[in-house]
Structure 1
Amino acid sequence: MASLVWSILAFLVVLLATTNAEVIDLQWDVDVDDTFGPSSSAQPVITINNKFPGPLINATTNDIVRVNVFNYLDEPLLFTWNGIQQRLNSWQDGVSGTNCAIKPGTNWTYAFVVKDQIGTFTYFPSINYQKVAGGFGPIRVNNRIVINVPFAKPEAEFDLLIGDWFVTDYKAIRSRLGASTEVPDMMLINGKAPYGYSTSKPYESIEVTKGKTYRLRVSNVGTVLSFNFRIQNHKMVVVETEGSYTNQTTLDSLDVHVGQSYSVLVTADQDDGDYYIVATPKMLNTTDDSPLVAKGVLHYTESGSHVSGPLPIGPDPWDVEFSVNQARSIRWNMTTGAARPNPQGTFNVSNVTLTETIILHGLQADIGGSYHYTVNNISYLTPDTPLKLADYYVNGSGVYRLGEFPIHSVNDEATYGVSVVNATHKGWHEIIFQNDLTLMDSWHLDGYGFYVVGFGDGEWTPGSRNSYNLYDPVVRSTIQVYPGGWTAVYAFLDNPGMWNLRSQHLKRWYLGQELYIRVHDDDPNPAKENPPPENLLLCGEFGEPLSPGGAVAPSPGW
């Protein structure tokens, strides 16, 4: 084991020397504060270093990031790095299947390399329904100096974390989750209430100079609602999404689904003044003065007036065809480099041989009188022992069993299960996400990016492949699935580990819509997968249980 650790340390030294990478050391004090609430009502908000949203992680390709998290909450805590691929290192992924939670009053240090990545991402707490109370923040991974960015350097960059918000205590919401639909109360921009909501509450304002171009990094950090983003009298150029440079498409508005991130360029090409920044929910009827319409201000430096006039008109929130057509228009820029100098198009999927097809139906079910979400009629049951620990120390014995999850069909009866799919290392996998419900969904796979090859209505069939885009599908880590429809992706599973595949809709995830992809290689060489870190937390079969009785209660699921 010691030789493996020294091999990794030697690798990191070489990496730092050859790439000019840096070590970014951060300390986060995670606590609850009721003075940050965006509404007029006091509520507990999870803050990091007394900030809501949390601080920016600003890294460059191949930097080493170390985050020492001090948990001042009254319950266990984990952070996950949404879209950061954790190459060879699922030990740092920060979800219940890979890590023991950080207990109250203790700390733990995450350490990971943003290897071979660029782009716009987020982080958030992954257990105990805590994301609904905050704790989220932005991640930027910048190009190395030697890699050209496919657009002129903007005057400045702004992170816009936009998402739905509940004014009720997150523990109260967590305790009553069930068949009733929880409708959010507000839509926030960077933790701030909509413009005009209250004279005592701040709203988000971005200051720009006429004639200059700016990069806005827009992320949906909500838990339920997709939104349409737009800026009054200004167009935007989409240039990047979750680590992929896109063909540069000019849009009036942009749909952003739960868990997704985009970079857009906006030029301040209007008369000096103030202009609305707006995000309106999809598949929900609202009015301009609704707190569920996020409103901020694009403020020109020389502006002498206040924002005025009607909000910029967006697409009908129920127009699924608009949204699907826009999603299909988001294509990979095949000629530019990203984390590496070779063009993204070097990694095309036009001639790949598929190893396996996995079909996943998102459903809801009553299991023993308890309301749950399922994948192929199995609602994920979180064991006390993280799957990664079990996989490493006891080969999964007694914690999970391979071969039981149905990857091509739906079980006749809804049940609980510890769902693990054994995937082929370095195999091309086709994953079909089938949304059998009437609400939007979005799916995320830790450790990887999806090649988004197709969308369709109704039930997916092998004939649906005729509609795939295999020439320039964009690569991203979170993909939307429309009601009553399907989304198809390809994934090249070359990153060994135990990786979480989940709904980004928090209620669905919390109530069972997740599974794990086990990408395993028997070779113990650390070039294949890192060994456990020296500060590894133990729990379950290898330490003090997270809960009595050997398994977390099935409702709620963490």
Structure 2
Amino acid sequence: MASPGYLRGLTVCAALLAVILARASGIDIFLEWNVVLDNTIRPVTVEQSVITINGMFPGPLINATTNDLVHVNVFNNMDEPLLFTWNGIQQRLNSWQDGVSGTNCPIQPGKNWTYVFQTKDQIGSYFYFPSINFQKAAGGYGPIRVNNRNVIAVPFPKPEAEFDLLIGDWFYDSYNKTRSMMASMANIITPDVILMNGKGPYGHSLSKAYESFTVTQGKTYRFRISNAGSAFSFNFRIQNHKMVLVETEGSYTNQITMDSLDVHVGQSYSVLVTADQNDADYYVVASPLLLNTSSPGGFDGVGVLHYSNSLTPVNGPLPGGPDPFDLDSSVNQARSVRWNLTAGAARPNRQGAFNVTNVTLSQNFILDGSNQEIEGAQRYAVNNVSYYSLSTPLKLADHFLNGSGVYQLDWFPVDSVNAKAAYGVSVVTGIHKGWIELVFVNSLNTMDAWHLDGYGFYVVGFGNGLWGPEARKDYNIYDPVVRSTVQVYPNGWAAVYAFLDNPGMWNLRSQSLKNWYLGQELYIRVFDDDPNPAKERPPPNNLLLCGIFADESEAPASEPSPAPSSGW
């Protein structure tokens, strides 16, 4: 009989071989980022500090190909802790690199830390941003492209060029001043203007510069559009030009031609635009939904599509878009975004080889997002529980203590609303390799959007009012698009399916920054007890320690309870 040591050796060798094979078509990409709070870069003339990376806002492009291994050495030269999260990058078997407060200790001021993550079996358009301390409102975000390997066909002709377009709302007040007002004024705090690639609107009285894209007549271009903002959904359009939708957050879509496109907070899309008009300049516009922008100056983000031979600047009024309050039209457009079942993706097999027509659901979570007052403070909650952030990341506690003394698993109500709003550390079990139905209910009169780290989910349905099981009869389970962020309309719901095959501690959150900052989130613990090292990866060698693990000789036995009424 083989010795245990010999068998362990075979297991390790097999795991190493699997890693080598998985990496065979990828390369290592090494990046070094210097992150500072810069007082000299001002998107508008209002005095404002901006988080820059290597002097840039937006930050540098991460340009990778499927299976590449990305190393990002982040130097935090700000005056407060910092984390980055990789919006939509699935971190296969590796939530240690997710970059949110429940999985990582923050990078302290004056320190650096290197993220290492693989763009495993992914393609598409994504972006990164700082995830704690309301810092995203000050910038620090940038684009991520994950390209197809050469052996995988792209379902449209190669465009002449590609443009990354990060559109985001912006506050005139500093991010730290804005966050300090959240506890008492969350309901009335809204951004002041929309930026395009960190630049103010064309023609705006406070703009220092505007974004411009140069094109050649007759050529086709790919625009990778991300809503990197904090609050506003927006409608995107280009004057006198049609767009062909081709991709969203790693999924090739059925190609539909449209005049305009709604993009919600945290979402990314790719559209093809052909320069088929006369040599001139044309407006590029992003208008917020559910907001009247008819006042002078308005809130619109405005850039310019510049034909290379143009001598005619833009002029006249901005091109009109859909009624910003016509949510029925927006929902209909959302339902029209379908998976291209015949296209390949990151793998040789077509996207349609994976479907949800006959899945058996293992779990159903109904998650109601709302605004609440808890202990005199404005908070956002899920099922009347407002998440309380701990100094010890849940992932650390899970690995070293099985969560003991830091959080209690599965006390959170996953399908009902607590009678009284309270704080809590919300961690729930996700059944490994089970199908979960997540129903997001929006009890607010504003747009919301939900995101699940570590996964792409199938968007199967939208509806008004309360959700009930009878809604399933109207789900699209034939060709639902797969993405990582779904919008939820005011007083409505959205339903998604996810296959929980990625072990780890994963953040499920509102993408609305103030909702997230004030507690609208929870964590799903997807655990696989198989000791095979090819399963979830062990902690990285450069693992940061904090909270109760910062100094074990002085560490308390457990985290303090956030409040007697928290339920944990």
Q: Provide the TM-score with structure 1 as the length reference.
A: 0.96
Partner of 2:300: 293
Equivalence for 1:459? 466
Deviations 1:361-405 (A, max 9, x none): 001111111111000000001111101011111000011111201
In structure 2, list runs of 5 or more residues that go unmatched.
Answer: 1-7, 564-568
- 1:212-223 equivalences under 5 Å are 212-223=219-230
2:211 partner letter = E
Shift of 1:196: 0.9
User: SS where residue 182 of structure 2 aligns?
Assistant: coil
Superposed, 1:68-147 pairs within 5 Å as: 68-147=73-152
Alpha-carbon distance in structure 1 between the residues aligned to 2:539 and 2:100: 15
Q: Does 1:258 align with 2:265?
A: yes
1:338-377 CA deviation, whole Å, 9 max, x = no partner? 0001111110100000001100000111111111100000
For residues 167-206 of structure 1, the aligned pairs below 5 Å read 167-180=172-185, 181-198=188-205, 201-206=208-213
Distance 1:312 1:550, change over 3 A: same
State how far apart, in whole Å, the 1-side matches of 2:536 and 2:183 are. Answer: 39
Matches within 5 A, 1:191-340: 191-198=198-205, 201-287=208-294, 289-340=296-347
Alignment-derived partner of residue 66 in structure 1: 71
Alignment partner for residue 56 of structure 1, among 42, 61, 65? 61
Residue 47 of structure 1 aligns with which residue? 52
Q: CA deviation digits over 1:235-288, x for unaligned, max 9?
A: 000000000000000000000000000000000000000000000000000027
Read off the aligned partner of 1:38 and give its amino acid letter.
P
* Matched residue, 1:400: 407
Q: Give a deviation string over 1:318-337, Cα, whole Å, max 9, x none.
A: 00001000000000000110
Name the structure 1 match of 2:43: 38
Is 1:528–2:540 an aligned residue pair?
no
Query: 1:315 Cα shift?
Result: 0.4
Contact 1:187 1:291 in 2 (8 A): no
The whole-number CA distance in structure 1 between the counterparts of 2:158 and 2:300 is 31
Query: Given that residues 80 and 123 in structure 1 are in contact (C-alpha distance below 8 angstroms), is that contact kept between their aligned partners in structure 2?
Result: yes
Aligned to 2:164: 159
Equivalent pairs, count: 552
2:183 aligns to what SS in structure 1?
Answer: coil
Do the aligned residues in 2 keep the contact of 1:81 with 1:94 (CA within 8 Å)?
yes
Q: What is the CA distance between 1:12 and its match in structure 2?
A: 4.0
> Which position in structure 2 is the counterpart of 1:484?
491
Q: Percent identity?
A: 67
The one-letter code matched in structure 2 to 1:146 is V
- Give the superposition deviation at 1:198: 4.5
Aligned partner of 2:71: which letter?
A: R
- Checking the alignment, whether the CA contact within 8 Å between 2:169 and 2:191 is kept in structure 1 is yes
For the pair 1:345 / 2:383, whether they are aligned, the reply is: no
Residues 73, 544 of structure 1: CA spacing in aligned structure 2 closer, same or farther, 3 A cutoff? farther
The answer for the alignment partner of 1:427 in structure 2 is 434
Aligned to 1:509, what secondary structure does the other structure show? helix
Unpaired runs of at least 5, structure 1: none
1:497·1:519 contact (CA, 8 Å) conserved in 2?
Answer: yes
Counterparts of 1:276 and 1:482, CA distance in 2: 28
Query: Deviation at 1:16?
Result: 3.3
Q: CA deviation at 1:553?
A: 7.3
Q: 1:272 to 1:403 in 2, by over 3 A?
A: same
Distance in 1 (CA, whole Å) between partners of 2:230 and 2:475 is 29
8 A contact 1:381–1:552 mirrored in 2:
no
Q: Amino acid of the residue matched to residue 436 of structure 1?
A: S
Deviation of 1:543 (Å): 0.9
1:508 and 2:507 correspond: no
Written as runs of structure 1 = structure 2, the 5 A alignment for 1:345-364 is 345-364=352-371
Question: Hey, what's the Cα distance between the residues in 1 that align with 2:150 and 2:430?
Answer: 36
State the one-letter code of the partner of 2:56.
K
CA drift of 1:408 comes to 1.1
Whether the 8 Å contact between 1:5 and 1:531 is mirrored in structure 2 is no
CA distance in 2, matches of 1:5, 1:39: 55
Residues 315 and 28 from structure 1, CA distance in 2 versus in 1: closer, same or farther, beyond 3 angstroms? same
- Please state how far the C-alpha of 1:176 moved relative to its aligned partner: 1.2
Contact 2:124 2:250 in 1 (8 A): yes
Please tell me the residue identity of whatever aligns with 2:445: T
Q: Offset at 1:447?
A: 0.3
Shift, 1:311, TM fit: 1.2
Superposition deviation, residue 5 in structure 1 = 8.7
Structure 1 residue 310: Cα displacement: 2.0
SS at 1:507 equivalent:
helix
Q: Distance in 2 between matches of 1:268 and 1:228?
A: 20
Q: In terms of mean alpha carbon deviation, does 525-534 or 69-78 score higher? A: 525-534
2-side partners of 1:161 and 1:509: how far apart? Answer: 20
Q: Match for residue 370 of structure 1?
A: 377
Deviations 1:173-220 (A, max 9, x none): 111103531121110000000001248711000000000000000000
Deviation (angstroms), 1:292: 1.2
CA displacement at 1:430 relative to structure 2? 0.5
Cα distance, 1:525 vs structure 2: 1.6
Distance (whole Å) between structure 2 residues aligned to residue 314 and residue 493 of structure 1: 39
C-alpha root-mean-square deviation of aligned residues, in Å? Answer: 2.0
- Structure 1 letter corresponding to 2:344: G
In the alignment, the residues of structure 2 paired with residue 15 and residue 320 of structure 1 have an alpha-carbon distance, to the nearest angstrom, of: 44
C-alpha change, 1:15 and 1:403, in structure 2 (3 Å) is closer
2:46, 2:206 within 8 Å by CA — same for their partners in 1? Answer: no
Within the candidate set 525, 530, 543, 1:518 is matched to 525
Contact 2:199–2:207 at 8 Å: present in 1 too? no
Match of 2:4 in 1: none
Q: TM-score, normalised to structure 2's length?
A: 0.94
After the TM superposition, which of the residue ranges 257-266 and 284-293 deviates more from structure 2?
284-293
Distance 1:171 1:200, change over 3 A: closer
Q: Distance in 1 between matches of 2:139 and 2:312?
A: 33
C-alpha contact 2:341 2:479 (8 A) present in aligned 1: yes
